[in-house]
Amino acid sequence: MRRTSRQVLTGLAAVLMCAAVAPATPAHAAGEVIIVWADPIRASVLQREFATGFQGATVQVVVKESLNALKAEFLASTPENGPDVIAVEQDWTGELVQAQKVRSLKVPKALAKEFPANVLAGFRYNDRTYGIPVQFENVALITNVGLVKKPPKNFDRLLKVADALKSSGTTEVGIAVGQGSTGGYDLYPLFSGLGGYLFGTDGLGNFDPLNVGVANPEFLANASRIDRWNRTGLINSTYTRETAKAAFVAGRAPFWITGPWDLATIKKLNFRYRISSIPQILQGTPTSAIIGAKGFMVTTHAKAHGIKPLASKFVTEGLTAKKVQTAFGQASQRLPALIASTETFPDPQLKAFGLAAASGVPWPNIPQTRSGWVPMGTAWASATKGAEAIPAAAAFSQAQAQIVAAIAGG
């Protein structure tokens, strides 16, 4: 079996709990050392799983306050004070590649097949793979089985059930889902299910910032459905993530769109529930959730340190071991990226979220993505605020114009 020949020899894992950048050169001068920067959650796994090193080298884990803090410090780093391997969010990929801070990885086809294609795709850029995922997350539909005994076979059935419960006064909203600044993300399955997308892709599979699909013709042709959802109260822009959660927990909504960050609440529900994907709205058009993944990349500093081959092996062999991937999933309470780890993962609720990611799409990994979420969230809010709402076609056309202008302005 793959990786059974990997030998883990003795070594010393150093843990540096400091805000300052740890000098990399002295550590490498002492022998083969792989310096890894990670946030506390990922660092805890590395410290435990590689306490004796990797293939004879010491794995030195430098703990950063958070992934965002790590990223800012890494972008300013040099070979003299930088790491060989870093923990990353997959949507950093394009920015780090453009900044020439990370190296591509040689990922054999056999290894690539051990991960869901739509999870691994988040680390691809210019037809190359720059990272290995260790976990992923996405939203799903949570159904109150006490209110809806049979899962809706399609979205029309979901609408009918939700409308009947609201009309009878049993519930106050059809789908409890948070909007505001998160609306573009949490509502993406409904958006994609109507033919919308944030960015299209080019011939190499990269997200294309010049192909903004927030108000593409197919979506605009279906946007009137959102107007109907607004009139019937299927969704309501007054809900935040917290108030949506409260409504579902109290039985005031038959359906809830959320992700594994609410797993503790889900497990404490005092009624039976079901976790599933959102039914298709249009035949043949997937209701694709956004997939967000975390993983690891090899930096350009590794070559300067003379350790790039070993650092690459650490990422593609050490971090892809089933035991290690499972440990990352357990530490973060997210589903591990490796399919073999997912299949034997002990948490059935997380596995249900994973099934809902089957038609998911990766979070666009280009810097221009940050220009998209707020306008998309604003469009949803404008189109679903009850009597004061504006037509969805107009709201999303305005969002498209704002995104295109922001990208053009740099």
Instruction: Quote the pLDDT of residue 143.
Output: 98
Mean pLDDT of the chain: 91
For residues 304 and 312, what is the distance between their CA atoms, to the nearest angstrom? Answer: 14
Distance CA 331, CA 87 (A): 14
Q: What is the pLDDT of residue 410?
A: 74
pLDDT tens-digit map of 78-133 = 999 999 999 999 999 999 999 999 999 999 999 999 999 999 999 999 899 999 99
pLDDT given at position 229: 97
The secondary element (H helix, E strand) that includes residue 297 is strand 290-299
Q: Which residues of the chain have pLDDT under 70?
A: 1-31, 181-183
Quick one: 341 exposed, middle or buried, by C-beta within 10 A (0-12, 13-18, 19+)?
buried
What is the predicted pLDDT for the residue at 31?
64
Cite the beta strand spans of 177-233 per DSSP E.
199-201, 207-212
- Contacts of residue 299, defined as CB under 8 A and 6 or more positions apart, other chains included, come to 74, 82, 83, 84, 85, 86, 101, 102, 103, 311
* pLDDT at res. 153: 87
Q: In order of start, what are the domains of the chain with their CATH numbers? A: 15-136+292-347 (3.40.190.10), 140-288+372-408 (3.40.190.10)
405, 406, 372, 394: which is closest to 183 by C-alpha? 372
Please give the Cα distance from 220 to 117 (Å, whole number). Answer: 29
Which pLDDT value is given to residue 19?
Answer: 30
pTM for this predicted structure: 0.90
